[in-house]
Each structure stands twice: as C-alpha cells, then as structure tokens.
Structure 1
Amino acid sequence: MDIINMDHNSRGGKKMFAEVKSSGPKLVPFAISLGLYFGLWLPVSSPSWFSALLKCLPALCLALFVLARGFSAGRNRPYSRKILVGLLLSFVGDIFLNWADQGFFDHGVLSFGLAHVCYMLALGIRPLVPWLALPLFLASGGTLALLWPCLPSTATAPLAVYTAVLSLMSWRAVARWWRPPHGGERGSPCAVLGAVLFIVSDVMLAQDRFCSPLPHGRLAVMATYYVAQMFIAISVLDQADPDSLWKRN
C-alpha cells in the first residue's frame, strides 16, 4: 500500500509540475506587476491611490489567474471560488495597509483575516489530524508572546485573533498535504508553502512595525507575502472539489 501511495504521489507531483509549466504564461501579468511594485518602490511615507494600486495589483493579477486557469476545469471550481474570494479580500487588505499609518491598519488585518478564513474553507476540515495543530499553535503563540511587549494595546486583540486564524489555515494546509482524506487527493504542497511563507511574512511585519526595524524589512515582508499568495493561487491547479471534505466522516 505504501508503494502504491508513493507511486501515486510521484505521479501527482509530475502532474502538478506539468500544470504549473503549462500555466506559466498566465502568471506573466503577476510577474509584471511585481516588477512595477519593486521597480518603482514608492515610499510608504507618502501613500496615494497610485501606490495603493501598485501594492494591490499583484493580488488582482493572481485573482485573474485563478479565474483564467482554476475555473477552466469543472472539478476545480469550488476550491478556486474560495481562493478567488480570499485573493480579492487580500486586494482590499493591501489597499487598507497602504494607509496603515493613517488609522487603517486594523481594517487591513480584518481583511486578511477574512482572506485566511476563505483559504481555510477551501482546504476543508478533513482529515482532522489534530496533533499537527499543536506545534503550529505553539509556534504561533510563542512568537506572539515574544512580540506582545512591543504591541500597542489597541493592536493586541486584533493581532491575537488574526494569529489564531492564520494558524488554523496553516494547519488545514499541512494536514491536507500530510494525510489526504479517505478516497480523496493529497493536498497541494503549494498551499503548504504559501501558508508557511504567510506566517514568515506576518512575523517580520509585526517585528518591523512594532518592535525594531529589520534590515530591508519592507523588502523582506513584501517579497515573502507576494510569493505566499502566488503559491496559494497556484494550488488551484491540482485540487479536486473540497466541498465534500466538510461532510466526510
């Protein structure tokens, strides 16, 4: 049985690579949007609608990628739909965070929290694999505890809730990849990579914003964030209908 599963996973990996390769041209607008954002590198001290457009354009391009590729196969529609909504909520979150210093930081946190809820719903609740949640929550809780003394009182509650939601989404991504549901497909490794990079990006953002500035902090935060979103978007290429995963067993 293990040999059969290994062979199945190997064939699944080759199929995923072929899907990504064939869909590469549809990611060109995303690559161009990244070039514009990092090439122009507008200062965050003077936010404008143009800088907001540059910041949220990559998420919009990934949403268009999901529309163009993820919806092309009927079996992917339910998963793709939730990922699409998550990307659109991230688009809104990027707009809010463009004016984070003008009082819209919490609005951005809420938008991204809702985006992670959509990603979590896409990933499903089966298989549960509860023991995988423990290290993720301990790591997230420990990191939050280290940052806690730096956080302003108004940000502690929103960031605590956001951390919990992000941890839940990461748990579902890892659990789906670690142990596929009975009779179902193994979760996408791209979703796992996206979840992990989201955690890395958000930890660096909190450290850089509230504690002490990181060397090239903005560059590190935005690069890991955009790559995380890219991997989550790419995960639509190899996922079957996840709606039934909430109903199995």
Structure 2
Amino acid sequence: MKRLSLPLLILVSSALYIFIIPDAPLVLNLLFKLIPMWLIITYAFLQFRGNRSFTGWIILAGLLFCMFGDGLLHWFLIGLSAFLIGHIFYIIGFFKEWRFSLIRVLTIIPISFYAIFIGLILTESLIEKGNSALFIPVIVYTIIISAMAWSAVMTGNKWAIAGSILFVISDSILAWNRFVSDIPYASVLIMTTYYTAQFFIAHSIKLFISKRA
C-alpha cells in the first residue's frame, strides 16, 4: 500500500487541479498546478535514493526546470525557456542510457517528419496572426522536444519512451490550441497528458537503475 500512496496522491492532486481548481485567482491556480509536479519530483528522487545515479539526478533536474516552466508559462517565453532547459537535461540523461538498435535509430525519420509538419503549421499561423517574434523560439523548442523524444526512444526504456511521446502530444495540443485554432477541452487534454508524461519519465529512473544492477 505504501508503494501506491504517492502515485495515488499524484493522481488525486492532478485531477483536483484539472477538474476543480478555477483559473482565478492566478496565485491559487499556480499553487495547485505545481503540487502534482512537486509530488512527481519527490517520486523521482525516491526511485534512486541511495544509488549513485547520474541519470537519476539529471532527470530530476529536468523535472525541476519543467516545474519552473509550469509556474512561468503565464509569461510564455520565460516558461518556454524553462521547459527548453528541462528537455536538454532529459536529452543528456537519456543519451547517457543509449542502447543502440537500428530500428530505434530509424525512428528519427517519423519523429523528424512530425516535427517538420507541426513546425510548418505553427510558423505559418504565427506569421498570419502577427506573432512573428515567436517564430524562432517555437522552432527551437520544436527541434529540442523532438530530440528529447528520439533520445528517449534510444534508451529502450518503455517508461521514458511513453513519457516523451505523451510530452510531445501535450505540447502539440497546447501549441495548436494557442496558435492555430481552438481545441475542445484543450486544458484537460494538455494537463492530463502532461502530468502522465512527467510521471512516466520519473518512473523510468527505476528501470534505468535496475538494468544496471
């Protein structure tokens, strides 16, 4: 039961934020938005506590910067920058766990095609709506999160792979809803996939350690 208590708390706090907490006041909304990430960071730490795990600490740093991104996304470019740093930490951690496989290497092709597809649509929409100042930041972020997804695939770790894909889905919904056109229930879809992605990435640490044992 103890093993399930923290994941259950993460689930309950996530559901509370997604379905119950109002958008205003902003301070209250941000507080409840960050609680699931604090719990996920705690869960990640518990996966490698007592082990000298470089990957564990790097992924923990990624989670921490993503939490900063959560809190700062109201100020879009600042939040985006924090998420960008978080993804760079994930990339470092995942490439440290590189497990070569030709099939996994070739997944760079569909990931690249998707990055180009979503990148073209977003940049076209940004230009049309007069947000050309966001052109470069959005393109850089698209490249980095795609690299993060590919680096996760290269680990062969099913939790890291699932988490990275869900992260891409979450950010794709967010970007489409913000810059292209409204998506029904966007907030629910974004946060559900996002919290799940972060939990899976946190849980992936355990599998990395067990493979080394």
TM-score where L is the length of structure 1: 0.75
Residue 149 of structure 1 deviates from its aligned partner by: 1.7
User: Which residues of structure 1 form unaligned runs of 5+?
Assistant: 1-20, 178-187, 243-249
Distance 1:29 1:22 in 2: 11
**Does structure 1 residue 69 correspond to structure 2 residue 38?**
no
Determine if contact 1:147/1:207 at 8 Å carries over to the other structure.
Answer: yes
Determine if contact 1:78/1:241 at 8 Å carries over to the other structure.
Answer: no
Query: What is the CA RMSD across the aligned residues, in angstroms?
Result: 2.1
**Does structure 1 residue 139 correspond to structure 2 residue 110?**
no
Letter in 1 for 2:22: L
Q: Which of 64, 70, 74 is the matching residue for 1:88? A: 64
**Does structure 1 residue 52 correspond to structure 2 residue 27?**
no
Residue 94 of structure 1 deviates from its aligned partner by: 0.6
**Does structure 1 residue 113 correspond to structure 2 residue 84?**
yes
Equivalent residue, structure 1, for 2:196 = 227
Distance 2:46 2:149 in 1: 26
Distance 2:188 2:122 in 1: 20
Deviation track 1:34-58 (CA, whole Å, cap 9, x = no partner) reads: 1320242312xx4522111111211
Q: How does 1:1-249 map to 2 (within 5 A)?
A: 23-43=3-23, 46=24, 48-72=26-50, 74=51, 77-97=53-73, 99=74, 104-124=75-95, 126-127=98-99, 130-151=105-126, 152-177=131-156, 188-240=157-209
Distance 1:214 1:70 in 2: 38
Residue 132 of structure 1 deviates from its aligned partner by: 2.8
Residue 135 of structure 1 deviates from its aligned partner by: 2.1
TM-score where L is the length of structure 2: 0.87
Letter in 2 for 1:146: I
Over alpha carbons, which structure has the higher Rg? 1
Determine if contact 1:113/1:162 at 8 Å carries over to the other structure.
Answer: yes
Distance 2:209 2:61 in 1: 18
How many residues are paired up?
203
Distance 1:206 1:90 in 2: 16
Determine if contact 1:23/1:69 at 8 Å carries over to the other structure.
Answer: no
Identity among equivalent pairs (%):
28
Letter in 1 for 2:41: A
Question: Are the structure 2 counterparts of residues 80 and 23 from structure 1 closer, same or farther at C-alpha, using a change threshold of 3 Å?
Answer: farther
Residue 23 of structure 1 deviates from its aligned partner by: 3.5
Distance 1:241 1:122 in 2: 16
Residue 68 of structure 1 deviates from its aligned partner by: 2.2
Letter in 1 for 2:63: L
Distance 2:120 2:210 in 1: 38
